[in-house]
Amino acid sequence: MSGLLAGKRLLVTGVITDASIAFSVAKLAQENGAQVVLTGYGRLSLVERIAKRLPEPAPVIELDVTDPAQLAGLADRVREHVDGLDGVVHSIGFAPQSCLGGGFLDAPWEDVATALHVSTFSYKSLAMAALPLMSPGGAVVGLTFDATVAWPVYDWMGVAKAGLESASRYLAMHLGKQGIRSNLVAAGPLRTIAAKSIPGFDEFEDAWSGRAPLGWNLSDQVPAAKACLALLSDWFPATTGEIVHVDGGYHAIGS
């Protein structure tokens, strides 16, 4: 077996379609020598169908990251397929429609709480659920959208991502004692299912493609996936609490 992740065992969440970043992560991980286990929520049959499009069909286990019982049983269900984990990929986010598209001032707390639970707190929850399977050298990698500024239409999801970025730093601090890293990849806008659910998300498209120093392909998930693989690999053994921007350089350019 050869490749950047030869012999690694990974848990990848958030595969919904083959246009998702998580799918590209799983595909490239397998091509680079990793064993992959996927999680799905809701329409599990859809995830199972997508899993068959990978180079090697991957097992799929059900996981609702807001369900304490499912989180408590995650390690046992993963052990049915692999004997441990070297990496976990968090590609999970959701916000009710009231929290997006300009509704920042009007969104009720109940909807905001849902966004924060699914998109922010779940990063810690997933890491802790997988922790019994992990050993020193392991890595948790999540996906964010640069939360250092306020974006039009992103609203409470932007707040949730800011919380995610902070949570990753705290996770890095607390899990570092066990030799486990926590890092995020800040990808530029991509035409995924998640993006399509945000009213007005197309406002990002022309601006990003025109201003990113390296240009930006809205339909190419591979650059973000490659960054995830690098952070999951042994090539960043002393990097934790970091956010790697994969956005064509847009974040470095003033408005």
Nearest CA-CA partner of 122 in 169, 76, 96, 160: 160
Cβ atoms of 35 and 87 within 8 Å: the answer is no
E strand intervals along 24-178:
35-40, 60-62, 85-90, 134-144
Could you say which of 41, 123, 154, 250 is catalytic? 154
Q: Which amino acid is at 96?
A: P
Could you say which of 8, 27, 124, 161 is catalytic? 161
Cβ atoms of 152 and 196 within 8 Å: the answer is no
Say whether 41 is catalytic: no
CA 200 to the chain's CA centroid: 22
CA 228 to the chain's CA centroid: 9
Q: Active-site positions?
A: 154, 161
